């Protein structure tokens, strides 16, 4: 279910003026510090700046659920629609104790820029419920999902808001969302969500899409830097769906995976891990700290291991001003959303680290979600080879567009990606004009 969750660091980082500090617990302000820099370089009009800096809609709902023991528990849920100028809102639903409105705002904004970076006809959204699904039965999770869906149903729809899985949600949860929406509409509406089971309109290749996208852009970055893939050492923080798929595909592309981690810690072998053994260990629902081979390291130590490629695929704000200077990787591929703070970006830039920003690096998932939405609406489904080849084309083209923007304006890849995305969204706003 989504990316691996690791303990959150409590730190502060330099703000955009370099003299103030932003709390890393505020992901929206972290995102906006990059937005502000990109908007300034684009000379964005003040009116458009104000429009793009604010979510379109923010929904807070109370969700009463009858527990298996007969008691009633009331949960809090959110859905934030950030921008829909380019098309329906797109964004995941997460079930987690860390869910809050500020995080939903940041993630919805990231989805807006992410969809624009890869030029999809979507806007951005994010939703979540404050809960601990690990302590809930399947029946309780189903009742929670259905009541949450009915609470936000006015915003949902193939032409308005299309959810997807995220942290602690999966295909099954999306099936419940689709069924609840369809029962209200009195007919089956497969295109209301993506990330569904293939048997009910899901797309082949969707589960591997985010990790596959990470592999593709990492490959392109190494090619641009003139570094051969064989023997290139890779460290992956987070061994959930994104990290594990990225590690597997990078290994198959000739790279050497020297370290991986989950919430319990990591394992490291400078000669390369036996991924077959690692996957077999994890499949038995075992934590990596119990893996018998390799040197055990903490998640903090793992980030500074000697390697060519680092893939942070767990939480936001794990690379900060406190550890950025110790990072040895030449390329960072951000599998997670917001893993690098603004202050850390400046340090990495000074070190010459090639950062593939999150809104490009992990856009493979939303790209294949778009493919699923297209297939559902057309009622015609593609084979996996077609899905993967079309994903590769979009990821390679988007990588080239982001790096070209960065070179043209003399900025790092992250600001280049934001400039590309903001310019695309702003262009549509200008063309549509202001409804008054």
User: What is the number of alpha carbons within 13 Å of residue 51 lying toward its C-beta?
Assistant: 18
- Nearest CA among 114, 57, 53 for reference residue 81: 57
Q: Could you tell me the pLDDT band of residue 25, with boundaries at 50, 70 and 90?
A: low
pLDDT digits (tens, 9 = 90+) for 130-145: 999 999 999 999 999 9
Residue 152 above 70 pLDDT?
Answer: yes
Mean of the per-residue pLDDT values of the chain: 93
Q: Could you tell me the pLDDT band of residue 260, with boundaries at 50, 70 and 90?
A: very high
Q: Could you tell me the pLDDT band of residue 96, with boundaries at 50, 70 and 90?
A: very high
**From 27-31, 98-102, 147-151, 325-329, the region with the lowest mean pLDDT:** 27-31
Long-range contacts of 141-145 (CB under 8 A, 24+ apart): 141/95, 141/173, 142/176, 143/65, 143/66, 144/63, 144/65, 144/75, 144/95, 145/173, 145/176, 145/177, 145/180
Distance (Å, whole) CA 4 – CA 277: 19
- Answering whether pTM is above 0.85, one says yes
- From 200, 222, 254, the end of a domain falls on 200
**Residues with Cβ within 8 Å of residue 110, at least 6 apart in sequence:** 31, 124, 337, 338, 358, 359
pLDDT digits (tens, 9 = 90+) for 196-225: 999 999 999 999 999 999 999 999 999 999
Look at residue 293 in the predicted model and tell me its pLDDT. Answer: 83
pLDDT digits (tens, 9 = 90+) for 224-248: 999 999 989 999 999 999 999 999 9
pLDDT digits (tens, 9 = 90+) for 399-424: 999 999 999 999 999 999 999 999 99
* Residue spans of alpha helices (H) in 186-298: 209-224, 241-252, 275-283
Residue 5 above 70 pLDDT?
Answer: no
Query: Does 84 share its domain with 186?
Result: yes
In angstroms, the Cα distances linking 75 to 106, 119, 129, 149 are 21, 36, 7, 13
Q: Could you tell me the pLDDT band of residue 99, with boundaries at 50, 70 and 90?
A: very high
- From 345, 361, 377, the end of a domain falls on 361
Query: Does 181 share its domain with 234?
Result: no
Q: Enumerate helices (H) and strands (E) in the chain, giving the number of each.
A: 14, 14
Residue 433 above 80 pLDDT?
Answer: yes
DSSP string, 322-343: TTGGG---SEEE--SSS-B-HH
Look at residue 28 in the predicted model and tell me its pLDDT. Answer: 84
- Nearest CA among 34, 31, 42 for reference residue 420: 42
- From 166, 182, 200, the end of a domain falls on 200
Dihedral sign from CA coordinates of 350, 351, 356, 362: negative
The alpha carbon of residue 279 and the mean position of all alpha carbons in its chain are separated, in whole angstroms, by 22
Report yes or no on 240 lying in a domain. Answer: yes
- Quick one: average pLDDT of 168-188? 97
Record the tokens describing residue 289, joined without a space: 């700290």
Query: Does 194 share its domain with 213?
Result: no
138: burial class by Cβ within 10 Å (0-12, 13-18, 19+)?
exposed
Look at residue 310 in the predicted model and tell me its pLDDT. Answer: 98
Query: Does 283 share its domain with 225?
Result: yes
Distance (Å, whole) CA 289 – CA 269: 14
- The count of structural domains within the chain is 2
pLDDT digits (tens, 9 = 90+) for 37-82: 999 999 999 999 999 999 999 999 999 999 999 999 999 999 999 9
Look at residue 74 in the predicted model and tell me its pLDDT. Answer: 98
Report yes or no on 378 lying in a domain. Answer: no
**CATH code assigned at 75:** 3.40.50.10860
**CATH code assigned at 352:** 3.40.50.720
Q: Is 217 in contact with 363 (CB distance < 8 Å)?
A: no
Look at residue 16 in the predicted model and tell me its pLDDT. Answer: 33
Domain that includes residue 134, residue range: 58-200
pLDDT digits (tens, 9 = 90+) for 296-318: 999 999 999 999 999 999 988 89
Q: Which residues are catalytic?
A: 126
Look at residue 31 in the predicted model and tell me its pLDDT. Answer: 85
Record the tokens describing residue 70, joined without a space: 């007969």
pLDDT digits (tens, 9 = 90+) for 326-353: 999 999 999 998 899 999 999 999 999 9
Look at residue 14 in the predicted model and tell me its pLDDT. Answer: 35
Query: Does 77 share its domain with 128?
Result: yes
Q: Could you tell me the pLDDT band of residue 2, with boundaries at 50, 70 and 90?
A: very low
Residue 91 above 80 pLDDT?
Answer: yes
Look at residue 10 in the predicted model and tell me its pLDDT. Answer: 37
Query: Does 193 share its domain with 277?
Result: no
In angstroms, the Cα distances linking 16 to 106, 185, 260 are 16, 47, 32
Q: Could you tell me the pLDDT band of residue 3, with boundaries at 50, 70 and 90?
A: very low
């Amino acid at each position: 279910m989504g990316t691996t969750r690791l303990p959150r660091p409590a730190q502060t980082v330099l703000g955009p003026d370099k003299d103030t500090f932003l709390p890393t617990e505020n992901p929206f302000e972290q995102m906006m510090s990059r937005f502000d820099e990109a908007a300034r370089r684009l000379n964005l009009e003040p009116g458009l700046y104000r429009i793009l800096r604010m979510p379109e809609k923010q929904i807070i709902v109370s969700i009463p659920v009858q527990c298996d023991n007969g008691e009633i528990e009331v949960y809090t849920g959110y859905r934030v629609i950030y921008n829909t100028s380019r098309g329906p809102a797109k964004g995941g639903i997460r079930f987690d104790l860390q869910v809050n409105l500020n995080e939903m705002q940041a993630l919805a904004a990231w989805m807006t820029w992410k969809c624009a970076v890869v030029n999809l006809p979507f806007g951005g959204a994010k939703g979540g419920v404050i809960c601990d699904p690990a302590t809930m039965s399947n029946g309780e999770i189903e009742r929670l999902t259905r009541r949450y869906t009915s609470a936000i149903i006015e915003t949902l729809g193939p032409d308005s808001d299309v959810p997807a899985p995220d942290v602690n949600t999966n295909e099954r949860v999306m099936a419940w969302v689709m069924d609840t929406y369809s029962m209200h509409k009195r007919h089956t509406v497969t295109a209301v969500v993506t990330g569904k089971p293939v048997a009910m309109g899901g797309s082949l290749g969707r589960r591997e899409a985010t990790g596959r996208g990470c592999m593709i852009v990492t490959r392109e970055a190494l090619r641009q830097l003139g570094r051969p893939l064989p023997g290139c050492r890779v460290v992956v923080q987070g061994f959930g769906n994104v990290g594990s798929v990225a590690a597997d595909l990078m290994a198959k592309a000739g790279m050497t995976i020297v370290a991986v981690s989950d919430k319990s810690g990591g394992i490291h072998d400078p000669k390369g891990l036996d991924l077959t053994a690692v996957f077999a260990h994890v499949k038995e629902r075992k934590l990596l700290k119990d893996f018998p081979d390799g040197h055990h390291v903490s998640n903090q130590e793992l980030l500074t291991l000697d390697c060519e490629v680092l893939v942070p695929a767990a939480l936001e704000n794990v690379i900060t001003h406190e550890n950025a200077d110790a990072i040895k990787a030449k390329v960072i591929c951000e599998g997670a959303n917001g893993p690098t703070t603004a202050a850390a970006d400046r340090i990495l830039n000074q070190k010459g680290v090639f950062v593939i920003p999150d809104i490009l690096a992990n856009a493979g998932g939303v790209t294949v979600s778009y493919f699923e939405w297209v297939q559902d609406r057309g009622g015609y489904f593609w084979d996996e080879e077609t899905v993967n080849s079309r994903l590769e084309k979009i990821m390679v083209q988007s990588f080239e567009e982001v790096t070209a923007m960065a070179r043209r304006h003399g900025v790092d890849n992250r600001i280049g990606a934001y400039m590309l995305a903001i310019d695309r969204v702003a262009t549509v706003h200008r063309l549509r004009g202001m409804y008054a």
